[in-house]
Structure 1
Amino acid sequence: MKTLTTIIVLTLLVFFGNAQESEEKGQTITVTIENITNSNGHVIISLHNEATFMKTAPLKIEKSVIKDGKITAILKNVTPGTYAIIGLHDENDNNRMDFETTGMPKESYGVSNNPVLFGPPQFAQAKFNVTDQNIEMKLIF
Structure 2
Amino acid sequence: MCLTESIQYSGAYASMGIDNSSRLDRFSNNFRVEVVRLNEDDMEFDMIVIDAAIANSFRRILIAELPTMAIEKVLIANNTSIIQDEVLAHRLGLVPIRVDPRLFDYLSENDQPNEKNTTVFKLHVQCKRGSPRITGMMKMILLPR
**Normalised TM-score (structure 1):** 0.35
Higher strand share: 1
Higher helix share: 2
